[in-house]
Structure 1
Amino acid sequence: MPLNKDLKKVMIIGSGPIIIGQAAEFDYSGTQACRAIKEEGIETILVNSNPATIMTDSDVADKVYIEPINLESIEKIIQKERPDGILAGFGGQTALNLAMKLYDAKILEKYNVKLLGTSSETIKKAEDREKFKELMESIGEPVANSIIAQSINECVEFVKENGYPVIIRPAYTLGGTGGGIANNYEELIRICTNGIKSSPIGQILLEQSVAGWKEIEYEVIRDGKDNCIIVCNMENLDPVGVHTGDSIVVAPSQTLRDKEYQMLRSSSINIVRNLNVQGGCNVQFALDPHSNRYIVIEVNPRVSRSSALASKATGYPIAKISAKIALGYSLDELRNSVTRNSSACFEPTLDYVVLKIPKFPFDKFTTSEKRLGTQMKATGEVMAISRSFEDALLKAVRSLDTEINNLENKTMINMKKEEIIAKIKACDHERIFAIAHAIRIGIDIDEIYNITKIDKWFLYKIKNIVSKENNKNKSLVYKMVDTCGGEFDAKTPYYYSCYDEEDENEISNNEKIIILGSGPIKIGQGIEFDYCCVHGVLGSKEAGYEAIMINNNPETVSTDFDIADKLYFEPLQIDYVMDIINKEKPKGVIVQFGGQTSINLAKKLHENKVSILGTPFEYIDLAEDRDKFGKFLESINIKAPKGDIASDTNEAINISKKLGYPLVVRPSYVIGGRAMQVVYDEESLISYMRQAVNISKDHPVLIDKYIRGIEIEVDAICDGDDILIPGIMEHVERTGVHSGDSISLYPPVSLSDDVIDTLVEYTKKISIGLKTVGLINIQYVYDGENIYVIEVNPRASRTVPILSKVTQVPMVKIATNLMLGKKLSDYTYGTGLMKDKNLHAVKVPVFSSEKIVGADMHLGPEMKSTGEVLGIDKELDIAIYKGFVGANLTVPKSGSLYISLRDVDKDEGLLVIKNYVDLGFKIYGSRGTYEFLMKNNIDCEIIELKNLSNQIASKGIDIIINTPTKGNIPQREGFKIRKSAIEHKIPIFTSLDTARLFLKAIYLKRKDVEIDYTDIKEYFIS
């Protein structure tokens, strides 16, 4: 038992929606923490607003509250549950900041709740820039020359004395939010103003830049007995100046001499001991490449993105051990989970190289600022393990789910020296490929070093790769991650491939199932697919099979070493996958759960005569091929928007003349609506076709007639003969907005019984016609008369975790068992559409708008949200309110509203605006909207665009409604309006449907309704 025997009930706070800077790593760490506490016989209470995670599954904690993570809801849950302790170190910056609010508001004291693990005093010392600086100076640890500022004048005075460049770091923020490097007065004012606004305490650290120094991280763990170990040290390939989340990172460090390694190791332990951290902690250093001088950059007194990477790199379960320490255990009392017979009080040994590369969203945001700096921009990351740096780097590149298989980027092939030097200086997400091309065309290593300050050791390793690009490698063998360099026998099969002589892979004679993962978190393919993969693994194991996972994402639960019977940390490319299949000889492979990444491997697996479990490949292909699918729908008498495929611009123009505008255009075989647009005229169509990438007969552009109406999403489970539909979700925003960016309602609120009956009938005909076994997702549109099929996904979708939780139907486990031979009749759920539960669930998307500078976040056919939250309640309006609040939108009781509508929306917008006026909102508008409103007897004050940003701040605008005519054009008025809203953190609605729904949240706020916060399982107790 833990030393702290007073703990009977513990609350764990999650991290909320996936946003840039705070992604799937907290699902992984939160899940580990819940399980670690639960196995001690302590009751676990989990609060998290994110429905797509494993940690919000009903069996991870004893009670699960899918509720907004704010002071109001957490206090009410504490009041109801009366936990003895609270864990805030596993939910990222969100949970840490909330814990400090609970502490400062004396809520923890009021309910006699202990903050477990790292104390509030430690958190303040680490997170408050001034207190941290004072502590470092008091213990002799060097920090950069800096000031703590709360005003612009203080910043200006510092620069007068110390000069440029300076780094700005806001206190209590994540992913470098609001920070940056200022090289001149204009940048200083802009970044400092933003930084002060971004900090919850209005405080920034302004420090002399050490950009160009090496950035080194140490992952440390300490217990209450003062045992302190280094789990892993990591080196950023990019020097200081690029956020560590955006940098290529290698473990262990490659360029440090032993003297430097030991110096920073000792410093890390000194810092963590003096901070009195209990649990996992990340320490970041800047090291002068020309001397032994170093400075401490910052400390994260919690598990982090880096600790997830360190855990997967070493096999050491940092989150699990941290949770045990929070309960009172010491490191010497805990076991190493991989060897199971050695102590957890040891420093892992790596006899291999681990390399992380970030995944960026710039394919979605073509107008955004792509230069990498101190504010994080990556949505996710991949990790690769091998025996050499070179091979690890190439494996990581191959894991990124792009067309690139080596360090040769085709867009750079014809670049001359001046162009490639300019590209390297741009310091964007493609710099590694630019460096490789520079070496390829003979640019000297010294010249590249002078521009980048990337250590020459790394540059010479890149040169090695370039010089051997066309060489054939030896056969792959598999080595085990054992945490101890082979000193002890490992009990957990966790493998990586490399080119070597000896193969450590033990192949069993068990019947096996291989589940293909979804790779890195990216817009359009998020944590929901990892959720499905984990349940696929668990379902396969429960059915008596050896479950094998192939994935490369270090942030996720699916790559935890104790989830699958065997884990292969490998690129999801056909050569790597086939090598594993040939060695393991599984009964079959499941491709349904890994999103488009795994579905895209189906064709090559089929060609290699691999057994694909579930829906046969021919029917996966039929659903993915628009032409074949259109003919299939015709054969079963179901309507679809009229459309065609175009391989060039002339074909596209001819199709437009047949169909008429507006049209929906998009490439085939994509996810998340990438590069999808609604075009209203021939000029826009020609422009789209010119910009579209890789158009060919094999990859044509899909062109459909745009149908306006209610969009409906149906997820079904099919056994080949019958279907089960746990629930139907209705989108709030009408067609033209990507389903991932739409607010969705369960159950539907505006569909008649006849429409729902038709949806069920169509879903059954399509599912059985496509020989579906497992999961299928169908998106429909209802225009008031007819129901049309927009698309069919022969796989899991992003709504599967939501429906699984709100209906209590384990959709993925059932689908897995159907693939393995069971029928729906073997279960008690019945067939057809299940009866609606006595609750409403509202999915609200969340956008990482602040991080992607220059991106246009208007709603459209291409997905832009990075995550989502769920509002659940028995009352629809309360569920809506919870959804908006969970998405961090401030719901005002009244205030000021700025409106700019495109002409086609003005008549419809009139009633929406009148509703806001009736609630006491003062109306401001752009010139065109102002004139329209005044003509219709609505008082409005004009704000000219040139004054917009200042007026938004001075007039206290609370909400902006702007419906765009065209998006992604920085010169247009609407783009500038949306940019101002993001800069001032004002809720902006680019769809009238969203603005109309937000009124319900405002009505509720004005009525001061008492809101109940309920464990999701309580909804299902009859």
Structure 2
Amino acid sequence: MTERILIIGGSANDFGRETESDAASYQVVNGLVKRGHQIVIADDNPYGFTTEREEIKVIETQLTAPNLVKVIVEEHITAIVASVGGLTAVRLSAEILQILGNDAPKVLGMTLPVMQAAQNTKYLQERLTQLKLPAVQTRLASNVSEAFDAARDFDFPVVVRSVAPVGQTIRLQVEDAEELEGAAETALNRSLTHQVNVDKSIRGYQEIAMVVVRDRMDTTLLIGGVEDMDPVGIHSADSIAITPVQTLPDPMFQTLRDAAFTVARGFNVQGLLEVRFAVNPANEDFVITRVTPYFDRTSAMVVTATGYPLVPVITGLMVGESLTSVRIPSIYADHTALLEPTMDHIVIRFPVFAFGELETAGIKTENRLDTVQKSVGATIGVGRSVEEALEKAIRAAHFNNRNFSPTLMNALTDNEIVEQLIHPRDNRILVLLEALRRGYTVDELAELTKINAFYFYKLQRLNNLEQAVKDNPWEADVLQQAKYYGLSDGLVAKLWDEKYEAVRRYRWDNGILPTYKAFEPSAGEFEESVSQFYSTFESENESERLGDDSALIIGTGAFRLGDGAAASYVMATVADELRSQGLKTILMNNNPTDLTFIPQLGDKQYYEPLEISDVMNVIEIEQPTRVFVPGNRIKLITQLRKMGSMCK
């Protein structure tokens, strides 16, 4: 049956809401149009890339329930897609169902209970209790007095959250009664229903997210698990996130996997669901903290990390196809949709902050990280090891951030080190490395920070490797090891007190060259022709030159203040135009939520840092005839021209 489907857009970009909704919407439109459905999209995002498409009807309107009800009536809408518009689309869809009642269009893939649970932790707790699953203890409050009553029951610290928030969810950690009044008033004002949830604090627990899918036949799959290196108490967008999960014992991992499936069944989800857990490291007790029935930054990270065609799959599941029959792109093996992805590499998402830019503008900032999001974007690093992925993620995220200067770390006193270990800031990863250099033990640091000891052993290896490189200049074996674990040519040059070009030439002369590996959902078990790659320093190369006449398009990297969605939109438009002219396109970026990684825009994609050494490595293997670089990368443009590349 042909449906007339309304896709509710993600609205304007904001902190915690980049272009992942727009990128997913573009792919959903592809799948629905191919199935013969008619598409109407409503959005008020001035940089919407999907709304440029000609085969759909676009309605530019403020995203409110009354406006969307009017669209539904005038356009004879029979179904709604809310899973690619973020929490805004979920909230509006729930309001539409309540306004129109039996006359409302069906919401594909979602039930009203899961929409309500995504917005209201008290309602989520009640539903989880029915499913015999543990939830965060919470109380609903409609005023400041009721918030105080709840806090007295739980004892401090507590977390205050808005119910049905305007924009993204706000979570405020409150340490004592003195802070509670202001936090409650702030959260009440951000709530459309003027209500808040007061939660018992679980600060210090380990955060794990499970991304699952379910079809109408009750077949469930785990697409990926993501582990936050930072404990509960730091907003998940500000945390360093790793996939696959590194530190959970397998029995515990399987327990969480089964719990995520139980939640998907209990809410009768037909498509995508992310379930977020908090695990007590002392006894492995856990609670479920959140359900997310829409495509968000975690889903985008899992798609990148696994290579699994998540958006094409959930598009089919939403319209009633099963996992055995869903249509996916022909580059994948026939049974890929039914396959739980296997990874033979590590992906780390690293947050980007704007404290430096704000301070330069004379704005006072608080660099401490807590339950309120402070990051403005994120990058990823991909490698064969945690060390390699972390090194690549750090330099991709903070290539020009003075807070990440080793000189600044050397100047910290011991008291300042302790203070920043207890109260982490944006540059905490360098503080951790510095603490290890000063002789803090792994056990001491794990106790102070509540970060798993596993990661301190990894950081210690990086410290040892940097020291070995510094102590052994022009040693090929040491350089090979350094490159394998992700150290850039630029960092090696600094450690050797040499020029970048000299290090690069020495590496080439000694045959220390990058190889590229594909993101394959089966980790190479089945024959697939995927086109996404990352670099490492091993023997086998899986990427071959695309062709004699190709264009390399460099993305903008992590979103930053002033150049986020607009810059992403421009570079995606460049890629789209080049493809329309028949030119083969190669896209290079390190932001998993960016528009440039829409599969239809590129013949090949590279997930790499955007430093000169990484860009030159891709240029050397692809030999493109044109290189397009965004205008905010002035230093990179200058370096590429110096190296003789054809930059546009």
TM-score (norm 2): 0.89
Shift of 1:420: 1.5
The aligned residue for residue 542 of structure 1 is 580
CA offsets 1:770-802 (integer angstroms, 9 cap, x no match): xxxxxxxxxxxxxxxxxxxxxxxxxxxxxxxxx
Q: Is 1:287 the counterpart of 2:279 in the alignment?
A: yes
- Structure 2 unaligned runs (5+)? 470-478, 484-511
Question: What does residue range 778-793 of structure 1 map to in structure 2 within 5 Å?
Answer: none
Instruction: Indicate yes or no: 2:328 matched with 1:360.
Output: no
Q: State how far apart, in whole Å, the 1-side matches of 2:403 and 2:393 are.
A: 10
| Structure-1 separation of matches of 2:58 and 2:113 | 29
Match of 1:516 in 2: 554
Amino acid at match of 2:338: C
Residue 206 of structure 1: CA displacement? 1.7
Deviations 1:241-267 (A, max 9, x none): 111111110001111111111111111
Q: Give yes or no for the alignment of 1:139 onto 2:175.
A: no
Spell out, residue by residue over 1:216-236, the C-alpha distance to the aligned partner (whole angstroms, 9 max, x if none): 000111122211111000000
Matched, 1:64 2:55: no
Partner residue of 2:598 out of 560, 582, 589: 560
2:632 aligned with 1:596: yes
Amino acid in structure 1 at the alignment position of 2:413: K
In the alignment, structure 1 residue 378 sits paired with structure 2 residue 375? yes
Q: Which residue of 1 aligns with 2:568?
A: 530
Asked whether the equivalents of residues 27 and 598 of structure 2 are also in contact (C-alpha less than 8 Å), the reply is no
1:80 matched residue in structure 2: 74
CA contact under 8 A between 2:556 and 2:568: conserved in structure 1? yes
- CA separation in 2, counterparts of 1:162 and 1:562? 51
- Cα shift readout 1:922-942 (whole Å, capped 9, x = no counterpart): xxxxxxxxxxxxxxxxxxxxx
Q: 1:468 is paired with a residue of what secondary structure?
A: helix
Matched, 1:181 2:191: no
Please say if residues 178 and 191 of structure 1, whose CA atoms lie closer than 8 Å, have aligned partners that are also in contact. Answer: no
Partner of 1:402: 399
Picking from 25, 28, 37, the partner of 1:33 is 28
Work out the CA distance in 2 between the residues paired with 1:406 and 1:321: 41
Distance 1:209 1:176, change over 3 A: farther
Check if 1:425 corresponds to 2:425. no
User: 1:33 is matched by which residue type in structure 2?
Assistant: V
* Alpha-carbon distance, 1:56 to partner: 1.6
Q: Check whether the contact 1:234–1:250 (CA below 8 A) recurs between aligned residues.
A: yes
Residue by residue, what CA displacement relative to the aligned partner does 1:300-321 show, whole Å, maximum 9, x if unpaired? 1222221111111112232332
1:203 shift after superposition: 2.8
The letter of the residue matching 1:74 is L
Q: Secondary structure of 2:247's partner? A: coil
The aligned counterpart of 1:611 is 646
Q: Does 1:346 align with 2:329?
A: no
Q: Deviations over 1:854-905 (max 9, x none)?
A: xxxxxxxxxxxxxxxxxxxxxxxxxxxxxxxxxxxxxxxxxxxxxxxxxxxx
Q: 2:105 aligns with which of 105, 113, 116?
A: 113
Contact kept in structure 2, 1:28 and 1:555, CA below 8 Å: yes
- Tell me what 2:488 maps to: none
Contact preservation (8 Å) 1:494, 1:561: no
Contact 1:216–1:286, Cα closer than 8 Å, also in 2: yes
Distance in 2, Cα, partners of 1:129 & 1:258 = 28
Map 1:744-759; keep pairs closer than 5 Å.
none
Counterpart position of 1:274: 266
Aligned length: 602
Q: What SS does the corresponding residue of 2:80 show, helix, strand or coil?
A: strand
Q: Report deviation, 1:510.
A: 3.2
CA contact (8 A) 1:166 1:183 kept: yes
Give the secondary-structure state (helix, strand or coil) at the position aligned to 1:344. helix
1:578-657 equivalences under 5 Å are 578-591=616-629, 594-597=630-633, 599-613=634-648
Contact preservation (8 Å) 2:336, 2:521 = no
Letter paired with 1:429:
D
Instruction: State the TM-score, normalized to the length of structure 1.
Output: 0.57
Distance 1:176 1:189, change over 3 A: farther
Q: In the alignment, what sits opposite 2:18?
A: 23
Q: Does 1:416 align with 2:445?
A: no
Match of 2:142 among 143, 150, 157: 150
Q: What is the rounded CA distance, in whole Å, between the counterparts of 1:403 and 1:381 in structure 2? A: 14
Distance 1:287 1:475 in 2: 41
Match in the other structure for 1:505: 543
Displacement, 1:457? 0.4
CA apart distance, 1:561: 3.6
Cα distance in 1, alignment partners of residues 535 and 638 from structure 2 = 24
Q: Structure 1 pair 130/422, CA: closer, same or farther in 2 (3 Å)?
A: closer
**Deviations 1:276-315, CA, capped at 9 Å, x for gaps:** 1121111110111122211111111222221111111112
Alpha-carbon distance, 1:571 to partner: 0.6
Q: Structure 1 residues 389 and 562 mapped into 2: Cα distance closer, same or farther (>3 Å)?
A: farther
Identity of aligned residues (%): 28
Partner SS, residue 264 of structure 2: helix
2 CA distance for matches of 1:407 and 1:348? 35
Amino acid at match of 2:232: V
Within the candidate set 151, 156, 178, 1:159 is matched to 151
Q: Secondary structure at the match of 1:299?
A: strand
> Cα–Cα, structure 1 residues 178 and 534, in superposed 2: closer, same or farther, change >3 Å?
closer
> In 1, are the aligned partners of 2:166 and 2:191 still within 8 Å (CA)?
no
- 5 Å-filtered alignment, 1:717-732, equals none
SS at match of 1:173: coil
1:104–1:364 Cα change, 3 Å: farther
Q: Kindly report the root-mean-square deviation, in angstroms, between the aligned alpha carbons of the 2 structures.
A: 2.0
Q: 1:466: which partner in 2? A: 463
Aligned partners of 2:169 and 2:240: how far apart in 1? Answer: 20
1:190 is aligned to 2:182 = yes
Partners of 1:439 and 1:213 lie apart in 2 by 23
Q: Aligned partner of 1:590: which letter?
A: F
Residue 495 of structure 1: SS of its match in structure 2? strand
- Contact 2:585–2:601 (Cα < 8 Å) also in 1: no
Supply the distance in 2 between the matched residues of 1:193 and 1:209 (Cα, whole angstroms).
Answer: 19
- Deviation of 1:175 after TM superposition, in Å, equals 7.8
* Distance in 1 (alpha carbons) for counterparts of 2:523 and 2:399: 33
User: What residue is the counterpart of 2:115 in the other structure?
Assistant: 123
> Within 1, Cα distance between the matches of 2:600 and 2:108?
25
Secondary structure in structure 2 of the residue aligned to 1:262:
helix
- Conserved? CA contact 1:142–1:296, under 8 Å: yes
Aligned to 1:444: 441
- The CA distance in 1 between the partners of 2:136 and 2:607, in whole Å, is 38
What displacement does 1:336 show? 4.7
Secondary structure of the equivalent of 1:281?
A: strand
How much does 1:411 deviate?
1.9
Structure 2 vs 1, CA of residues 8 and 137 (structure 1 numbering), >3 Å: closer, same or farther? closer
Change (3 A) 1:562 1:459: farther
Asked if the contact 1:149/1:205 (under 8 Å) is kept, the reply is yes
CA, structure 1 residues 406+522, in 2 after alignment: closer, same or farther (shift >3 Å)? closer
**1:95, CA displacement in angstroms?**
0.9
Residue matched to 1:829: none
Aligned equivalent of 1:744: none
Amino acid corresponding to residue 99 of structure 1 in structure 2:
S
Contact 1:71-1:101 at 8 Å conserved across structures: yes
Distance in 2 of aligned mates of 1:405 and 1:411:
8
Between structure 1 and structure 2, the one with the greater Rg is 1
Distance 2:67 2:102 in 1: 17
Q: Which amino acid aligns with 2:68?
A: I
Gaps of 5+ in 1: 614-1022
Q: Secondary structure at the match of 1:467?
A: helix
- SS of aligned partner of 2:178: helix
Matched, 1:8 2:29: no
